[in-house]
C-alpha cells in the first residue's frame, strides 16, 4: 500500500483493505475513494461494501466511476512486479500508467467508501498543469498493444477507454477556449468507431457549442 507524503489514511483504512482482500481473494488490486482535504476536520468514513471489478477499463467506462489513486490503493506485490513498477523519471501520471498496466492483466476490487484524505494545500497538483495534453500512459498502452501484451479479453475495453479519455481532452479543450485544438483532436486523433457513442456525441456537441452543457473538470 502506498501513501503520498501530503495525504493521510482515514481510520481503519488498512483494516478495510485487508477485509476487501479476504472477501475478493481473486483481486490483485484493491482501491477505495479519497476525500478532499482542507482546513476543516475530516470526518471518519463509514466502512463501505466491497465490489469485484473483474475488468478495470469496463468499470471506468461505467457511469460515475471513480479512478484509483496512489493513496487509496493496495496491490499484491507479485502483481505489480509482473506488470512493471512505477515508470522511472515520470513525475506526472506515473500512477495512472501503472494502474493501466495492472488493469490489462489483473482483476480489481473496489471499496465503496473513502480510505484516505487527498490534500492540495496550494490548490493545485501537478496533473492539473497537464490538463488538455496526452497523459504518459497513452505511450505505454500503444506499446503494449503493438507488442501483443494486452490479453484478448481486455483489448476491446482498453481501446474504448483510451478513446473515452481522448474525448475527455476534447471536452476540456473546447471548454477552455481551445476549440481549434479540440477539433483537430476530434477529427484526427479520436477513433470514432471505437469511441463510446454517448461520449462521442457529447464531445461533438460541446466542441460545436462549448457553453451548451454544464461541465465539471475531471482528472485524466
In the block, cell 476543516 appears at 40
N-term to C-term CA, the chain: 22
Whether 132 and 51 have beta carbons less than 8 Å apart is answered as: no
- How high is the pLDDT of residue 218? 46
User: How many other CB atoms are found less than 10 A from the CB of residue 103?
Assistant: 26
The DSSP secondary-structure symbol of 61 reads: T
Q: What is the CA radius of gyration of the chain?
A: 18
Q: Would you mind telling me the total number of residues written for the chain in this entry?
A: 220
Give Cβ neighbours of residue 21 (< 8 Å, ≥ 6 apart).
27, 30, 74, 109
In the block, cell 473513502 appears at 114
Pairing of strands 108-118, 8-9: antiparallel
- How high is the pLDDT of residue 63? 74
- How high is the pLDDT of residue 6? 86
- How high is the pLDDT of residue 66? 82
Q: Which residues, in sequence order, are bridge partners of residue 116?
A: 9, 34
- How high is the pLDDT of residue 111? 95
- How high is the pLDDT of residue 123? 46
Low-confidence residues in the chain, pLDDT < 50: 123, 127, 215-220
Spatial distance between the Cα atoms of 195 and 201, rounded to a whole number of angstroms: 10
- How high is the pLDDT of residue 38? 66
pLDDT in tens, 13-70: 999 999 999 999 999 999 999 988 765 656 666 778 999 999 999 999 997 788 889 9
- How high is the pLDDT of residue 67? 86
In Å, how far are 13, 74, 167, 199 from 202, measured between CA atoms?
37, 34, 9, 5
- pTM check: above 0.95: no
Exposure string for 131-155, b = 16+ CB within 10 A, e = fewer:
bbeebbbbebbeebeeeeebeeebe
Amino acid at each position: 500500500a502506498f501513501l503520498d507524503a501530503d495525504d493521510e489514511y482515514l481510520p481503519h483504512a488498512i483494516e478495510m483493505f485487508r477485509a476487501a482482500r479476504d472477501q475478493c481473494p481473486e483481486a490483485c488490486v484493491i482501491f477505495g475513494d479519497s476525500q478532499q482535504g482542507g482546513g476543516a476536520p475530516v470526518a471518519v468514513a463509514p466502512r463501505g461494501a466491497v465490489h469485484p471489478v473483474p475488468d478495470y477499463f469496463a468499470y471506468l467506462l461505467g457511469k460515475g466511476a471513480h479512478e484509483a489513486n496512489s493513496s487509496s490503493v493496495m496491490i499484491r506485490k507479485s502483481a505489480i512486479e509482473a506488470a512493471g513498477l512505477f515508470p522511472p523519471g515520470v513525475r506526472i501520471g506515473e500512477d495512472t500508467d501503472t494502474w493501466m498496466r495492472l488493469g490489462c492483466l489483473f482483476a480489481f476490487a473496489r471499496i465503496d467508501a473513502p480510505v484516505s484524505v487527498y490534500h492540495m494545500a496550494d490548490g493545485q497538483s501537478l496533473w492539473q498543469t497537464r490538463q488538455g495534453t496526452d497523459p504518459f500512459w497513452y505511450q505505454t498502452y500503444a506499446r503494449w498493444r503493438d507488442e501483443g501484451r494486452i490479453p484478448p479479453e481486455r483489448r476491446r475495453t482498453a481501446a474504448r477507454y483510451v478513446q473515452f479519455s481522448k474525448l475527455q481532452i476534447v471536452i476540456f479543450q473546447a471548454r477552455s477556449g481551445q476549440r481549434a485544438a479540440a477539433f483537430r483532436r476530434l477529427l484526427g486523433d479520436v477513433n470514432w468507431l471505437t469511441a463510446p457513442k454517448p461520449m462521442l456525441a457529447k464531445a461533438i456537441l460541446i466542441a460545436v457549442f462549448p457553453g451548451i452543457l454544464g461541465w465539471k473538470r475531471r482528472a485524466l
